[in-house]
Chain A
């Protein structure tokens, strides 16, 4: 492996200072499942790793029916996957967790690292956006927070500036009568990145839909909201016609590219299919 220096600061302030001093080739190191691969495959020039695992206060998971699920930057995908209640409360997020890599990878990979890597195909991002997650981060001027849907600026890019470190996310408690689903589409069932990922979340009164949020993965430079499709669902009765129209509209809400995993046309068509399927899955789960 290419050589790098390794640092293990014990406070956020110290870590932030190091990142600023060491410059562009210094990276926050959490689980390392993206970084070590990128170093080995020479996809990224890394001269310094700043391991944040010794920093206290960013390791906890807590649940509160009023605020929801709070998780620190060091919480791994596997910890959440095996936590009782996540499956019942956030079935879309749970599905994304279960489909991320393997158990071995999930034992190391952090959810916040998955977010900060900002891959358009990252599995945890669509359900977290659909559920209205808020990300918290440290800046030398103080703590900041913002809706996760505003965090990404391009493939591999976030609003974080040099020396800023994500500290955790809050996933709001589900509204009464809310339903949700995430569908990851790939050629294989396991150890596969998403060709298309669709997460939906909405509130239903009978079959009437409100507060719909649809997030689409791997079909644009960042995970995107399908705002047109959301508008069709909101206030409507979820019959076949409405669901079909939302599926078609979702195709127009995304901008996929062609690459080794799939063509743009195929991805667009799958957005249609999976959006309809995700809405139905969410409905059925509570029927």
Chain B
């Protein structure tokens, strides 16, 4: 059966018509036209489809669109600021060459964003633990780690400046 579902994606309300068996991932990509979120495995293993729902990272492939009704969904398209400036994580990924083909990158960015929100100064072990559901098949994780550490550093500095000012 088809239903109209209201999704609040990156702050904007979208009314989308979905069938009950459609995943949030397919709905974001095909109905809302937001193809930044990637489909790797479609069964929860790779993390490429990671989005935040009400602030928590989930695999969009393992959630039904109907379940997201009225919830806040954040995707990689909403990561940059309203003025268009890149998020410090996006900037750091570019500077460190942390994406090769870039397929896993949107999921990793969303996961990392939530990680740094909860823990602004993570150890390597904490980053590793946090990213264990995000698989990159192109490369090792060294550059990804470097980028996340560097973005964390930058975000902490920004926060401190804001506090002192």
Chain A interface (Cβ within 8 Å of chain B)? 1-6, 31-33, 36-37, 39-41, 49, 51, 53, 78, 98, 101-105, 107-108, 189-191
Contacts and interface: CB of A to CB of B under 8 A. Distances in A.
7 A-B pairs with least C-beta separation: A102-B133, A190-B132, A6-B20, A37-B43, A104-B59, A107-B56, A104-B133
B22 A190 contact: no
A39 B19 CA distance: 15
User: How many of chain B's residues touch chain A, expressed as a range?
Assistant: 20 to 34
A36 B57 contact: no
B45 interface: yes
Contact of A51 (B56, B57, B67, B129): B67
Given A5-B20, A40-B42, A108 B64 contact: no
A47 B16 CA distance: 23
B43 to A, nearest CB: 5
A32 B45 CA distance: 14
A94 to B, nearest CB: 13
Residue in A32, A37, A40, A103 whose Cβ sees the most chain B Cβ within 10 Å: A103
Contacts of B88: none
Of the listed residues A32, A36, A41, A101, the one surrounded by the most CB atoms of chain B closer than 10 A to its CB is A36
B111 A104 contact: yes
B76 interface: no
A103 B57 contact: yes
Of B43, B44, B59, most buried by chain A (CB within 10 Å of CB) is B44
Contacts of B64: 6, 32, 36
Majority SS of interface residues in chain A? loop
A191 B128 CA distance: 12
Given A5-B20, A37-B43, A102-B133, 20 more contacts: A2-B21, A3-B21, A6-B64, A31-B62, A32-B63, A32-B67, A33-B62, A36-B23, A36-B62, A41-B43, A51-B67, A78-B56, A101-B44, A104-B50, A105-B62, A105-B133, A108-B63, A189-B132, A190-B133, A191-B135
A189 B4 CA distance: 42
Given A4-B20, A51-B67, A104 B43 contact: no
Contacts of B20: 4-6, 49
Contacts of B58: 104, 107-108
A149 B37 CA distance: 42
A77 to B, nearest CB: 12
Nearest to A38: B43
B113 to A, nearest CB: 13
B130 interface: yes
B163 interface: no
Contacts of A40: 42-43
Contact of A191 (B56, B130, B132): B132
Contacts of B1: 5-6
B133 A191 contact: yes
Interface in B1-16: 1
A209 to B, nearest CB: 33
Nearest to B54: A107
Contacts of B104: none
Nearest to B114: A103
B47 interface: yes
Given A51-B67, A78-B56, A108-B62, A101 B133 contact: yes
A191 B42 CA distance: 15
B44 A105 contact: yes
A58 to B, nearest CB: 16
Interface string B26-50: 0000000000000000111101001
A104 B57 contact: yes
B48 to A, nearest CB: 11
